[in-house]
Amino acid sequence: MSEHHAQPARVRLSGELDAETVPRRLRESEDWFEHGEETVIDLSDVERVDSAGVALLLEWVRDAHANNATLSFINAPAQMRAIIDFCALNDVIRLRGAS
């Protein structure tokens, strides 16, 4: 008997992740993390990010963890990587290259 692995759910974000847009994006993401499932969030089309955007990623990490779901982020823009590096969050927010 072979085990079937479903493809991860992919979410592609675009635009800005900042203090103005984060509350709406948080509401939109309420059901993204299914119990035990894998979600990949593609950040390649994010044009601008601030610390609120990074805080949103932290909230998603917590939500995924609470649902025993796997979460990964790909294609983070340089601005986001810089904030994550500066805040020493690399072990919490795991960024991958393209997938």
Give all strands of the β-sheet with 70-74 in edge-to-edge order.
9-17, 38-49, 70-74, 95-96
Q: What predicted TM-score, i.e. pTM, was given to this entire model?
A: 0.86
pLDDT at 94: 87
Q: Residue 41 forms beta bridges with which residues?
A: 11, 73
For residue range 51-92, list pLDDT tens digits in order.
Answer: 999 999 999 999 999 999 999 999 999 999 999 999 999 999
For residue range 11-57, list pLDDT tens digits in order.
Answer: 999 999 999 999 999 999 988 888 888 999 999 999 999 999 999 99
What's the CATH number of domain 9-96, 2.160.10.10, 3.10.180.10, 3.10.129.10, 3.30.750.24? Answer: 3.30.750.24
Domain boundaries, the chain: 9-96
